[in-house]
Structure 1
Amino acid sequence: MAAKVGYLVVSVLLVGYLALAGHRALLLIREGTWITVTLGVAVLALPLIGGWFLWRSFRFVLFANRLSRELDAEGGLPVDDLPRTPSGRIDREAADAAFALRKAEVEERPEDWRCWFRLAVAYHDARDTPRARRTMEHAIALHAGRPAARRERA
């Protein structure tokens, strides 16, 4: 729950910043000189890029949570039973062993989004966030019945 609150707070702050930057950009453009218009257009790019990034991240979280709820209802959600270090992080060797099992599961059933979802969790547990995200995006695409834009290799 703390992660959701943190995400919400950061998102609200980002939207506020993007609105402020967009407002300043419009003020610069309204000045009408070639320098202020050029600078205003450049500043306007920041809220557009930030808004796109926030929207893409928000959609990813929504779709991943939807898959998580569906998998939980089916009883297929991976159990968080890996041993942890005294600091609370998942033990690396245990995460690697769980990853090997999930990778084998994906190799057996490469078209099953459930296997890809569990592999994404294993990547996350192994502290490989970029691959975890790409693998989750692949699971989302399989669930939606469309081919993934770029297929993640197991």
Structure 2
Amino acid sequence: MTADPADIRGWQRLSGEITTSGRLEEADVARLAALGVRQVVNLALDSHPEALAEEGVKLAAEGIAYTHIPVPFDAPQEAHYEAFRAALETGPTPVHVHCIMNWRVSAFFYRLNRDVLGMPEPEARALMVQQWEPDASEKPEWAVWADFIAPKAG
């Protein structure tokens, strides 16, 4: 089996079927294919200076399905989270989910692990903070993320 490419920014293996990271570079496409990844979900904006141009085309050339859910860093919405959940539930596995820093992704998986998969909150948070902790007291602009990951009523 091919070893995990730990030199990809923010690389994290969550399970045998799920890996995450920050931005991908050109050479990473073939590396993901070698790992057996069958789907990539991208939460970053195409307009980000570090975004991989033509990412979907490059992944398709390797036989990897591509789902792009552009999440503005300053405005994550419930619709983004629902699209993320749908991609994970209906797309092929193994799946690799990424953004630019693995911050959006870690927050999305925190909610999924805690609210859907029933992972105890401290365990779900420990996975998230390996990448990022959206603490509004540290940076006020992260308040939108603190709200986004807060438990929802209902």
Same fold flag (TM > 0.5): no
Question: Which structure is higher in helix share?
Answer: 1
TM-score w.r.t. the length of structure 2 is 0.28
TM-score w.r.t. the length of structure 1 is 0.28
Q: Which structure has the larger Rg? A: 1
Higher relative contact order (CA 8 A, sep 6+): 2
Question: Which structure is higher in strand share?
Answer: 2
